[in-house]
Structure 1
Amino acid sequence: MSLLFKHLRIHQIFGANTDVGKTLLTSALVRASAALGNDVYYLKPVSTGPMSDADDEYVKRFAGKHKSRVRTECLFRFGEPVSPQLAAQLAQREESKVYIPSDKEFVTAVASHVRKCATHTARPSHMYVETAGGVHSPTLSGTTQLDSYRPLFLPTILIGDSRLGGISSTISSYESLVLRGYIVDAILLFRDEYYRNWEYLSSYFAEKGVQVHAVDPPPAKHTDNNTNIQLTEQFYWKIVPSNNQGTIFDTVRHLDICHTQRLEELDSMPRRTLDTIWWPFVQHGHVKTEKDVTVIDSASGDVFSLYNGHNTESSTPSLLEPQFDGSASWWTQAVGHAHPALTMAAAQAAGRYGHVMFPEATHLPALKLAERLVKFGPGRGWASRAFFSDDGSTGMEVALKMALRAFAVREQGGLKSGIGMEKRRGLGVLGLKGSYHGDTIGAMDACEEGVYTSEWHEAKGFWLDPPTISVRNGQTVISVPPSISAESEVETQSLGWTYDITERFKTPLAAVYRQHIESTLRKLRNSERTLAALVLEPIVMGAGGMIFVDPLFQRILIDVVRSSNAFPGTLSTTPGEWSGLPVIFDEVFVGLYRLGFESIIPLLGVFPDISVNAKILTGGLVPMAVTLASDSIFKAFYSEKKVDALLHGHSYTAYPVGCEVANEALNVIEKLSKSGEWEEAKARWASPQETKLQSNGVWSFWDPDFVSELSKLPCVGEVMTLGTVLSIKIADDTAGYQSHSAQKLLDVIKSSENTEDVSPIPGGSPFGINYRTLGNVAYFMLSLNTAPEIVKAVENRIWRTLSS
């Protein structure tokens, strides 16, 4: 992962093209760094071509009179003078035993060498890592260099192109670097007096705060090798003079300043943060010192790079340490951080549209996304319209407005305009205890009183106490509240069977659920508040404590609500129309494969009337929500009068950047859903009696044996998992959300210290685990493409911590 050292200033050298002078100018930087009294390390990760032309040999030859301070290295060497990918393939054809490393192995080899150099001396030192060809030249695996090296996140020097067309290639290369998040500290190129590219580029990049340094070009290559060496040496004496002055020395000093400024900024961030930022869901009284502030310098894949400069107990020489993003960045992450495909989609839409107004208008990203969600995605078979908003909470506000209006219109016999607003203030919702639909006032009002609600909150409705599912002592168990049955715990055949609604309809528990729900609704019929919608978080209530609700209870609740005589005048016999109460599925957390399914609809075997998707929708890159609605809900707002319309909207409705990113995220997710790794994970959860696994069976990315054994530990009350989610409830702790037991018990895993496993992350560094708790519940969450070896390493850390 990312590397940063106090005494070792590292820069990676990228070229705007091939033959732009990368090695020649890097040699000048090496020579100047050594002349200024630094130990200098030069690394050429991949070299192609004969040894006589090797860049590391060239740098060593022209290191100058201080070459004793210079150490050069090449990690992978191939004989053919072609691109690294092709050179490796040709070598493998000639000798089948030639091994081509993966991107992870390649980056780990580079990182290991960098760390070795960093521990070699405590003196001020410089390191230059020179890439091959242009910024998008492939590495050994075929991955473009920008993506392959990205986990290291090394500050960059771009060698510009001084030739015809070089202005374009230099700017394009710079933009490619920026799109992937690289820090470009300087641009260095030759001073060609004919094309004079440096003049234009200096002015162009000055506006961006990037310094451009130009040096005189080298002499033409002489046919006689000895003469050529002599001329080259004279060239270096000219651009790296003995008085330590000139452009190259200015560049080296500028790079030193950039390094120092980065360290100073990282070091100052905790104090500045404590002075200015108000965090969500944090009691600031518990954050006492600067070392309590987590400084995230960058992120790549599933890993944060954290600044540990305030951690005096850290044994790693790097000021950055990797930490697994164990909450998938608060539930939004789908395909890892800094995914290049999503970044490019965002840039493309930003460049084409920025943001454009949406009422009575359309644009392609929004239209494609709406059609995809309605016709081919979670709205398939029931939805007719997609309404765009900003995030999950606002999406739920929209859903509530839709449902309450549809109920009011039908209750009034189809009357729309002129509905008595005073009477409508008595509307409420039916839901489940522990539910959470967002932090806007309307979404809070759709939940009972709790830790998330505000002083202005007014709980509007009734919430049933739901039965839940968990794994205890290796056995899948249904916990039934005493308000439903005297039998508080029911063991089931297996996790898969527990989610087979069709089979479980035949069980006695189904009749118990139905009787309890019908009885409750009869009692509520004469209450002061009129129930106007059923609002559910299907399968899992996340913020309430990762509560895995019995799906049979939710399914029967929907069936009873839609057929109940507790809602006179709202039952429908027309196919496709809502009946009883409009049903809202809050799939903000659970939708789009978070639990292993595109939608929970097939698992429950019933369509909603309204549903909301967000979070994973854009892969965690930008906020966006979509509320899907059936045609019968849409018609409740359809008339010739403006007042009857859904008068609700957001400034960034159908934000083109968000729509384009969502389309690309869904493309990536669709490919993942067909991957071999997903199939292997599903197979681990299959059992002989669960032959329907491939169509509707439940599964998880977490290993079933690990989950079972974890549930048997004395400190663990229960465990539950589906898809990417792992929830661990601490034993004998009834304090709920106000508890700190989960945080205290697992706090040690946040650190990368004392880890025993070989690190599976790119770069090979030991890593900590960033996770979140909900009182006495600790949860861990994966991306949809988290590597199996990383999942295994996280499981091992959790197991060792809880079993010790």
Structure 2
Amino acid sequence: MTLSPKTLSYDELRALDARHVWHPFTQAGTAKPPILALGGRGATIYAADGREYLDLVSSWWCNLHGHGNPAIAQAIADQAMRLEQVIFADFTHEPAARLAARVTRRLPGDLDRVFYSDDGSTAVEVSLKLAHQYWRNKGQHRDVYVAFEGGYHGDTAGAMSAGHSSGYFEQWREMLFPVKTVPFPATWDDDPEVEAKEAAALDALDLVFACHPDHVSAVIVEPLIQGAAGMRMCRPEFLRALELKVREAGSLLIFDEVMTGFSRTGDLFACVKAGVTPDLICLSKGLTGGFLPLSMTVAREAIFQEFLGQDLSRAFLHGHSYTANPLGCAAGLASLDLLEAAECQSRIQAIEALHRARLDRLKSRPNVARTRLCGTIAAMDISGGGVGYAAEVGPKLKAAFLERGLLLRPLGNVLYLLPPYCTTEAELNRAWDAVEDVLATL
């Protein structure tokens, strides 16, 4: 794939980027120039320097079906010729109504009401604001939120507050509101202490409820997998016990499924896999197959009912310019068509099986620990270069994989694979072969 004759040269584009663009999660003073992407097909990204990169992180966990998927691209093009944007406060449209109906049909219980926004952070922000106003509308003052240590929920103020223990937000601590944190019972293959860790986490939650009776608004958790914390996983049994504790305390339960939604855990949603019905669920990333920004906060019907009345002050006065953008909703419908097809579900199962086999081969390596797997997400801890997000081994691993044409972005000393569902067996084995090769040479 080459630059179009109508575009600037490779050097000119690089110069424009260096002069004007501020990249996320990047120290511009020391970072290497970013790779100039020209296009993508399937699991492969094509770069301007002639190299190809196998995308094994699904481009920030968003891409479900591969780059340039023709079905989603066509759905967006068709919708763009009909209606590209409309104010969602006064109007509705077919893609928004159909997408909300299709997603809620696959959710458990009475999770029936969809509030659209534009990314994972805002989906979480909406859930926290809904919980707060829900109790106010009921005449109760509940101002305590509970989150789990290491949890990451996005970069807006409320989402940062819920994720303050992740360590990402020290620069903005003064902007955040207090949130209580309890331990997250992270587990892995052959973990003998998992039940003790779960008990300790639940005991800590009990203590919060005891210290703040009738004041806990909501408990928020990334179900089954804490993503940015290092693909830390918990068992479905823990989430079921958590739900019981929240119900006993009369609080709300929020599932942040921004990353885990849309079959990443093997089931369409982590709440389905765990057998839990939260009160609010946050969805984004894979919602449009990775094509356009769009998110949902889905609420139980009973929550929606508390916002009804003759007084505008009871309404949820929140919104975004591109709420329920028709193009994003059309992409979401096309992505669901692909996701629900038997072929896609078969590939998801095949990816999980291949991950399992290749992870088991690595367990005996001295620099590999805590192997873990959930659906299409495989992860392991790598020793020999520190721990945590700032571990020295992370950049070394990333550079080694890029040299081999693989896009893998370790979370500190945690190496993980989260490929698009279209990734072939040969492509995935090539990636695992490279993992074995790199780990052998560390």
TM-score over 0.5 for the pair: yes
**Correspondence for 2:167:** 451
**Correspondence for 1:293:** 34
1:501-516 matches, within 5 Å, as 509=195, 513-514=198-199
Q: 132, 139, 145: which is aligned to 1:429?
A: 145
SS of structure 2 residue aligned to 1:349 = helix
**Correspondence for 1:517:** 202
Give distance in 1, aligned partners of 2:338 and 2:345: 11
Task: Show CA shifts across 1:199-232 (max 9, x none).
Answer: xxxxxxxxxxxxxxxxxxxxxxxxxxxxxxxxxx
1:85-124 matches, within 5 Å, as none
Task: Show CA shifts across 1:706-735 (max 9, x none).
Answer: 101212211122222222222231125554
AA in 2 matched with 1:446: A
CA 726–678 in structure 1, closer or farther in 2 if over 3 Å, else same: closer
**Correspondence for 2:394:** 742
Give yes or no for the alignment of 1:526 onto 2:211. Answer: yes
1:76-225 matches, within 5 Å, as 183=4
Please identify runs of 4+ aligned residues in structure 1 that moved more than 3 A: 408-411, 512-516, 522-530, 672-681, 732-735
> For the Cα contact (< 8 Å) 1:514–1:557, is it kept in 2?
no
AA in 1 matched with 2:426: E
CA 703–349 in structure 1, closer or farther in 2 if over 3 Å, else same: same
Give yes or no for the alignment of 1:355 onto 2:355. Answer: no
Give distance in 1, aligned partners of 2:409 and 2:398: 10
Give distance in 2, aligned partners of 1:706 and 1:731: 19
Task: Show CA shifts across 1:543-582 (max 9, x none).
Answer: 1221112332232122112113xxxxxxxxxxxxxxx111
1:360-759 matches, within 5 Å, as 360-374=90-104, 376-377=105-106, 379-410=107-138, 412=140, 427-453=143-169, 454-455=171-172, 456-471=174-189, 476-477=190-191, 489=193, 509=195, 513-514=198-199, 517-518=202-203, 520-522=205-207, 525-526=210-211, 530-564=215-249, 580-672=250-342, 676-678=346-348, 680=350, 700=352, 702-731=354-383, 734-752=386-404
Identity %: 29
CA 386–560 in structure 1, closer or farther in 2 if over 3 Å, else same: same
Give yes or no for the alignment of 1:328 onto 2:58. Answer: yes
Give distance in 2, aligned partners of 1:666 and 1:786: 18
**Correspondence for 2:417:** 780
Give distance in 1, aligned partners of 2:9 and 2:55: 23
AA in 1 matched with 2:374: L
Q: 13, 32, 51: which is aligned to 1:269?
A: 13
SS of structure 2 residue aligned to 1:323 = strand
Task: Show CA shifts across 1:746-770 (max 9, x none).
Answer: 5222124xxxxxxxxxxxxxxx001
Give distance in 1, aligned partners of 2:15 and 2:353: 39
Higher relative contact order (CA 8 A, sep 6+): 2
> For the Cα contact (< 8 Å) 2:183–2:204, is it kept in 1?
no
Give yes or no for the alignment of 1:284 onto 2:28. Answer: yes
**Correspondence for 1:114:** none
Q: 18, 40, 46: which is aligned to 1:305?
A: 46
> For the Cα contact (< 8 Å) 2:149–2:181, is it kept in 1?
yes
> For the Cα contact (< 8 Å) 1:437–1:443, is it kept in 2?
yes
Q: CA deviation at 1:785?
A: 1.7
AA in 2 matched with 1:396: V
Give distance in 2, aligned partners of 1:618 and 1:361: 21
Q: CA deviation at 1:467?
A: 1.6
SS of structure 2 residue aligned to 1:729 = strand
Q: CA deviation at 1:583?
A: 0.8
Task: Show CA shifts across 1:250-290 (max 9, x none).
Answer: xxxxxxxx3xx76x6112333322221111111112225xx
Give the alignment's TM-score, normalised by structure 1: 0.52
SS of structure 2 residue aligned to 1:627 = strand
Give distance in 1, aligned partners of 2:208 and 2:91: 47
> For the Cα contact (< 8 Å) 2:95–2:330, is it kept in 1?
yes
Give distance in 2, aligned partners of 1:750 and 1:460: 40
Task: Show CA shifts across 1:25-58 (max 9, x none).
Answer: xxxxxxxxxxxxxxxxxxxxxxxxxxxxxxxxxx
Q: Find the structure with the greater CA-based Rg.
A: 1
> For the Cα contact (< 8 Å) 1:448–1:463, is it kept in 2?
no
RMSD: 2.4
CA 795–433 in structure 1, closer or farther in 2 if over 3 Å, else same: same
Q: CA deviation at 1:525?
A: 3.4
AA in 1 matched with 2:239: Q
CA 616–408 in structure 1, closer or farther in 2 if over 3 Å, else same: same
Question: Number of aligned pairs?
Answer: 439
SS of structure 2 residue aligned to 1:384 = strand
> For the Cα contact (< 8 Å) 1:407–1:581, is it kept in 2?
no
Q: CA deviation at 1:384?
A: 2.0
Task: Show CA shifts across 1:676-728 (max 9, x none).
Answer: 444555xxxxxxxxxxxxxxxxxx15432210121221112222222222223
SS of structure 1 residue aligned to 2:220 = strand
Give the alignment's TM-score, normalised by structure 2: 0.92
SS of structure 1 residue aligned to 2:181 = strand
Task: Show CA shifts across 1:644-698 (max 9, x none).
Answer: 10100011111000111100110011115665444555xxxxxxxxxxxxxxxxx
SS of structure 2 residue aligned to 1:773 = coil
Q: Which runs of 5+ in 1 are unaligned?
A: 5-154, 156-182, 184-257, 309-319, 413-423, 479-488, 491-508, 565-579, 682-699, 753-767
CA 524–457 in structure 1, closer or farther in 2 if over 3 Å, else same: farther
AA in 2 matched with 1:582: L
**Correspondence for 2:69:** 339
Give yes or no for the alignment of 1:793 onto 2:420. Answer: no
AA in 2 matched with 1:395: A
CA 411–305 in structure 1, closer or farther in 2 if over 3 Å, else same: same
Give distance in 1, aligned partners of 2:273 and 2:298: 18
CA 802–734 in structure 1, closer or farther in 2 if over 3 Å, else same: closer
SS of structure 1 residue aligned to 2:389 = helix
